[in-house]
């Protein structure tokens, strides 16, 4: 359910995954605990909207769509409707702010049962904790070798990592660079650098390689793991917290500001960080193209 351009969709996705993983008996217990249907209207930085309906009253189901009507299909009538921007919902889920505080500041608008809005943080916190107990899905078995290889074959990649919102940003970069071969090569020539991104999150540090050198194929532009693991030579390794990388991608934080404020550490050519900011800006938002 992770939606391109909506970093907070990972929050709803986790909630949906938890409900799906529960036994019918445990799901019934969670539903009886909450007894409410939440509807969310989420707006992102590009002015796009996406809608989610979370049924914690009857069936324990989550639906989403680009329109309010489609998202509500097959769902009970919402007890509360929450209009919120993408970044604010993520901050509420991460415990960095409260629904009550954001409501008072005008960043959250609520229709319906106001008290349910005040219960949003403990609700998200509980499902986040439940989600941490869900074992990761086993990787799909590799296909049998046919004795031949193709330079266009895509390796088994796990770009999006549960609990790391920055991985959605990196996945967006992959999608943008995979859209058009000619434009990709032009952008690669302009950037001409290999970055290693180290993000500190709930399960320690996770790494990705942005192979933005001329000649890189769509399957080789973004790679999970370190540069050494992928046999690449990174021009710079950027080390920062997952949340700070999301802020950097959204434009809330600049590379220079992050570096001066101690939020960004680097190994290698720090000036390449300026090029990364340009890449993040160019690939920002759903359906972004180079």
Residue 1: per-residue pLDDT: 57
Q: CA-CA distance, 214 to 217, in Å (whole number)?
A: 9
Average pLDDT of the segment spanning 192-203: 93
* Cα 236 → chain centroid: 23
Residue-wise burial string across 86-121, b where 16 or more C-beta atoms lie within 10 A, e elsewhere = bbbbbbbbbeebebeebbeeebbebebbeebbeebb
Contact 60, 28 (CB under 8 A): yes
Q: What is the pLDDT of residue 211?
A: 93
pLDDT tens per residue, range 31-54:
898 999 999 999 998 899 999 999
Give the pLDDT confidence score for residue 63 in this predicted structure.
Answer: 93
Q: What pLDDT, on the 0 to 100 scale, is given for residue 135? A: 47
SS (H, E, C) 19-61: HHHCCHHHHHHHHHHHCEEEEEEEECCCCCEEEEEEEECCCCE
What mean pLDDT do residues 61-67 have? Answer: 93
pLDDT tens string 137-194 = 433 344 443 333 333 333 335 789 989 999 999 988 888 888 778 888 888 998 899 9
Give residue 133's pLDDT band: very low, low, confident or very high (50, 70, 90): low
β-pair type (236-241, 193-201) = parallel
**What pLDDT does residue 274 have?**
72
Tally Cβ neighbours within 10 Å of residue 159. Answer: 16
pLDDT of residue 262: 86
pLDDT the model gives residue 148 = 35
pLDDT given for residue 10 in this prediction: 81
Give me 19's structure tokens: 């409900």
Residue 129, exposed/middle/buried by CB under 10 A (0-12, 13-18, 19+)?
A: exposed
In percent, the amount of the chain with pLDDT more than 90 equals 36
Question: Residue 263 and residue 252: Cα distance in Å, rounded?
Answer: 13
Q: Is 10:290 a contact under the CB 8 Å cutoff?
A: no
Give the pLDDT of residue 222. 93
In the block, residue with structure tokens 């409900």: 19
**Closest listed residue to residue 86, CA positions, set 13, 6, 172:** 6
Q: pLDDT tens digits for 250-284?
A: 888 887 778 778 898 888 877 777 778 888 877 76
- Alpha-carbon distance of 220 to 152, in angstroms, equals 9
């Amino acid at each position: 359910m992770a939606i391109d351009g909506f970093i907070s969709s990972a929050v709803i996705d986790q909630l949906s995954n938890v409900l799906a993983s529960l036994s019918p008996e445990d799901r019934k217990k969670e539903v009886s605990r909450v007894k409410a249907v939440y509807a969310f209207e989420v707006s992102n930085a590009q002015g796009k909207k996406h809608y989610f309906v979370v049924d914690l009253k009857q069936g324990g189901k989550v639906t989403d769509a680009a329109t309010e009507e489609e998202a509500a299909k097959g769902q009970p009538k919402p007890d509360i409707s929450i209009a919120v921007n993408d970044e604010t919902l993520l901050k509420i889920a991460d415990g960095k702010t409260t629904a009550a505080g954001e409501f008072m500041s005008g960043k959250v608008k609520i229709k319906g049962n106001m008290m349910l809005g005040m219960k949003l943080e403990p609700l998200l916190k509980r499902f986040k904790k439940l989600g941490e107990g869900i074992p990761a899905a086993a990787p799909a078995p590799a296909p049998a070798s046919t004795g031949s290889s193709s330079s266009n074959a895509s390796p088994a990649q796990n770009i999006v990592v549960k609990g790391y919102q920055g991985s959605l940003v990196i996945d967006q970069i992959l999608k943008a660079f995979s859209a058009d071969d000619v434009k990709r090569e032009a952008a690669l020539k302009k950037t001409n650098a290999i970055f290693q991104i180290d993000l500190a999150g709930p399960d320690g540090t996770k790494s990705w390689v942005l192979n933005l050198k001329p000649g890189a194929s769509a399957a080789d532009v973004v790679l999970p793991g370190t540069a050494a693991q992928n046999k690449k030579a990174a021009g710079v390794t950027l080390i920062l917290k997952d949340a700070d990388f999301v802020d950097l991608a959204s434009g809330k934080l600049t590379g220079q500001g992050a570096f001066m404020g101690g939020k960004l550490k680097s190994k290698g050519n720090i000036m390449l960080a300026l090029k990364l900011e340009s890449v993040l800006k160019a690939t920002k938002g759903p359906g972004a193209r180079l």
